[in-house]
Structure 1
């Protein structure tokens, strides 16, 4: 199985996606996701200008060797752009290997460790009635676990609040990457947030009972002591997890959170390698690994990271919003189905345009995902359909405090 050609496809069916297409001399095609939300063209250039020229003539079956070649051979290692580009190659090679074997990728990873993948959806609202409606809507779609994000009184616009309706009339979650020449500015006030959020979870628990797993994302905006205060204040509401309470660059910030609260912690959607997790796992400062297959360099290294985490009873909680393409989502499902320490899978449904561009075999039933049993990853990109949606410039927002200081978004 010698790689004959490699192409990069950029399409924007509602949002921008970067997809690598590998083809072998005997006609097998593999697909990989390389999307980095808001910096898509940087990955396109990395792939087209630096990686694609290295792939023709390589043995597509040598996945580990190719990964090491792309990671170690460049000398300049890590970072989201590099690792997303490597991830795309890694996914595409696993896709090809599965097709050559006539087996779904999860079978090549050791077979299924469970029958399906518990997934959580994103409920949100500007007030309690909207939040309740959003939770009910997700429950009606089969979700068995719900992330809850709430607007904060006095703040104009913050991350995670759905405020738009899709063309087909179905409400989709907040899409933060807004199209335009400049990023949108949002506001933030931590004290208001810390006062308000516990009242939201008190109301949600009272409305939906103690059995529904609830999650929340603080989105890296708190100091260590603020994070500890939040985690402690949410203990009565028995969260499944509290996510990204402090900026991820400083693992030691999780120590005071651990010391003051037993609320489970999930960290790492912006991480790129096992080195980012090393201290957090070794010191058992987290409960869930949030890395994405797309941003962690692919299936090959994330599987190793999760095997390391398993030694400390830390589980997976792989990143899965709509900026992960269906190819990346499929890769996460195959990996999650095979590992023993699966925890939960984030799952935001893509819109109809994206589903038309990416043909998918995975299933969603009674709150559980399954990647399907087609050979490979079970996802392919329809080139003619993708060509209808050219790239559009889009940026993630940023935050300012009341005095004008730029804050973590």
Structure 2
């Protein structure tokens, strides 16, 4: 089955998505997600100018060889733009292979390890009480694991708490230049332990709680926070500190037993190799779109399994339903899957573009047995929503020093 054509689409049903469609000579097509939030057009150029011309006429069934060709065959390896491009092609090829075989992709990956995929929802509040009310809403919807984030008193904006309580999708079009947010570790430390103390008092021990630091702490500050949160038995503490220097997590690990998760900004196994093999983390959160697709994530999961590290793929709203579906096929067929982040299936406009049969039931995703990834893409509907330049925020300390967002 030779590749005849590859199309790249950019659509903005409230936020930007980059979608790749690989079409074979017999008309079979597969879909992939290539979205890199805030750098979408860089990926489009990489694909159209450098990847697509190299793939026309190649065998669409040669997934591993094409993956290696796009990774090893490029001297300038790794990085978000390269790996998102590789990922989108890889997802599309797996989608094609499943359609030709008449099987869902998870069957090609070894079959089901579980009947459904456990999720964690987000509870984001303007204060502690509001966050806890949001937790109750999540519980009422059937979720048994919930990430808690609350606005920090004294700071204008806080990660995870949406400005003016807007939806994630509403915010993108309002950010033509990077917004700036203040950060204060001292003010943050006054809030977080109290948040989880009150959460446990109100909801007991039957609900799993999580929290995302979003890399704003130094390693020793992260160690201190992990120690403070030990009485509240978190499922994991996410992105406690930056780990470009993977040795940072030795400091955190040696001071706290709170489980640690990281990986959403990682692009290859090399970014997390030391963290995994030295058992410095408990969950690896790489995303299919940003780390090389299904082929790469399956290998990372197998490597992590040796060291008792579970997968917990990134599930932000800037990953399209195609990426989410790829995660679902990986999750249901991966022995050491832990939990999946879930922020919904997108807004109403997004759902008219990306069609799928995934179902939310009692805090889990249930997959249908459609061939391939089980997602379709409406090109005409996508044309209604033009690209808008947008950025993620940047962060500064209260004295103006640029900090980690």
Q: How much has 1:181 moved relative to structure 2?
A: 3.1
- Structure 1 runs of 4+ with >6 Å offset: none
3-state DSSP class of the match of 1:187?
Answer: strand
Distance in 2 separating the partners of 1:177 and 1:408: 20
3-state DSSP class of the match of 1:394?
Answer: coil
Structure 2 alignment gaps of length 5 or more: none
Q: How much has 1:276 moved relative to structure 2?
A: 0.7
Q: Which of 178, 182, 186 lines up with 2:177 in the alignment?
A: 182
Aligned to 1:367: 363
Aligned to 2:303: 308
Aligned to 1:149: 149
Distance in 2 separating the partners of 1:163 and 1:397: 12
Asked if structure 1 preserves the Cα contact closer than 8 Å seen for 2:14 and 2:170, the reply is: no
Aligned to 2:254: 259
Most deviating of 186-195 and 96-105: 186-195
Asked if structure 1 preserves the Cα contact closer than 8 Å seen for 2:15 and 2:169, the reply is: no
Asked if structure 1 preserves the Cα contact closer than 8 Å seen for 2:36 and 2:80, the reply is: yes
Q: How much has 1:280 moved relative to structure 2?
A: 0.4
Distance in 1 separating the partners of 2:398 and 2:132: 30
Asked if structure 2 preserves the Cα contact closer than 8 Å seen for 1:37 and 1:177, the reply is: no
Q: Which of 354, 357, 360 lines up with 1:358 in the alignment?
A: 354
Aligned to 1:108: 108
Aligned to 2:394: 398
Q: How much has 1:408 moved relative to structure 2?
A: 0.5
Q: Which of 357, 369, 374 lines up with 1:378 in the alignment?
A: 374
Distance in 2 separating the partners of 1:277 and 1:175: 33
Aligned to 2:225: 230
Asked if structure 2 preserves the Cα contact closer than 8 Å seen for 1:248 and 1:270, the reply is: no
Structure 1's 233 and 176: CA in aligned 2 closer, same or farther, altered over 3 A? farther
Q: How much has 1:63 moved relative to structure 2?
A: 0.1
Aligned to 1:89: 89
2:306 is the alignment partner of 1:327: no
Q: How much has 1:141 moved relative to structure 2?
A: 2.5
Q: How much has 1:134 moved relative to structure 2?
A: 1.2
**Count of aligned positions:** 404
> TM-score normalised to the size of structure 2?
0.98
Aligned to 2:118: 118
1:165-224 CA-to-partner distances (Å, cap 9, x unmatched) read 66xxxxx45876453431111100011111211001101111111110000000011111
> TM-score normalised to the size of structure 1?
0.97
3-state DSSP class of the match of 2:272?
Answer: helix
Distance in 2 separating the partners of 1:330 and 1:360: 9
Aligned to 2:292: 297
Distance in 1 separating the partners of 2:173 and 2:150: 20
RMSD, matched Cα:
1.3
2:133 is the alignment partner of 1:133: yes
Asked if structure 2 preserves the Cα contact closer than 8 Å seen for 1:228 and 1:261, the reply is: yes
1:95-132 CA-to-partner distances (Å, cap 9, x unmatched) read 00000000000000000000011000111111122112
Q: How much has 1:15 moved relative to structure 2?
A: 0.4
